[in-house]
Amino acid sequence: MLAEAESHLLAAVDDGRARGLDTDVAEREAVDRFGAVTAVVRDVPAATRDVAGVLRRLLTGTWFAAAVVMIWWGGHGVLAWLLGWPWTKLLTATDRFGTQPGMCGRPWVPSTRSVDCFTQYRGNLDIVIGGGDRDAYPFVAVAGVLLLAAWLLLRRTTVLGTTAWAPAPGIRGLGLAVAFGLAAPVLMAHGITGLHWQAQEWTLSYLMAGLLAAGISAAVIRCVRESADVRRHR
């Protein structure tokens, strides 16, 4: 591969000199056209039987997947929290879509409670699927964004972006696209069915998780296609 690269550079230099360029200028032009080392090395195929290489690609792939999962989990909690106010207003205005008439009166809201109807029901909303810690989701979302930003930065500036470290975009994207693509309809269906079971406290969180999963799956598929198009045109 080095010999092939050298032959291409020498041929480009000869072409430049034939066009009347000085040797130094022709060499600089050849290198500029060929690409910098950090750009060229990203397209060098990795050894398929290199155990250390497989472990490195597994590490970076896990890093990327963990960042996306953290953004998804924390992000759907943030969305559910932001929409908690209008969702609770809708529930109280419709008596839980007609499944709980008089939900702001007794015995649903005891007169001994010091909070009003809206505050009580908003406090009962599940911010994340399956309940869980109501306070951790924004920190998880921010941590996921920082983790992904660090991954993208290191890919551009270090050997982390080479094929010896980075798994193929198709493999990396396929795993996430399939996982989130399958989870999205299940989560949304579970949230929709909750509308008829007087279980609307967790409906919002499941809908947000499903919609965000569908968005991530679509975004990953688009990125994989764009990456494939770029490689095809090179």
Residues 6+ positions from 170 with CB-CB distance below 8 Å: 224, 228
To the nearest whole number, what is the mean pLDDT of the chain? Answer: 83
pLDDT of residue 85: 93
Percent of the chain with pLDDT over 90: 31
Domain segments of the chain as ranges:
56-233
pLDDT digits 0-9 by tens, 141-150: 999 999 999 9
Give the integer Cα–Cα distance in Å for 121 and 88: 7
pLDDT of residue 44: 57
Give the integer Cα–Cα distance in Å for 127 and 131: 7
- Torsion of the alpha carbons at 177, 182, 184 and 187, rounded to the nearest 10: -150
Q: Residue written as tokens 């770029």? A: 230
Has residue 1 got a pLDDT over 70? no
pLDDT digits 0-9 by tens, 180-190: 999 999 999 99
Give the Å distances, CA to CA, from 225 to 60, 134, 171: 20, 37, 12
pLDDT of residue 66: 94
Give the integer Cα–Cα distance in Å for 36 and 39: 5
Give the integer Cα–Cα distance in Å for 161 and 42: 6
What does the pLDDT average to over 166-176?
78
pLDDT of residue 140: 94
- Cβ(138)–Cβ(77) below 8 Å: yes
Q: Which amino acid is at 6?
A: E
pLDDT digits 0-9 by tens, 67-93: 999 999 999 999 999 999 999 999 888
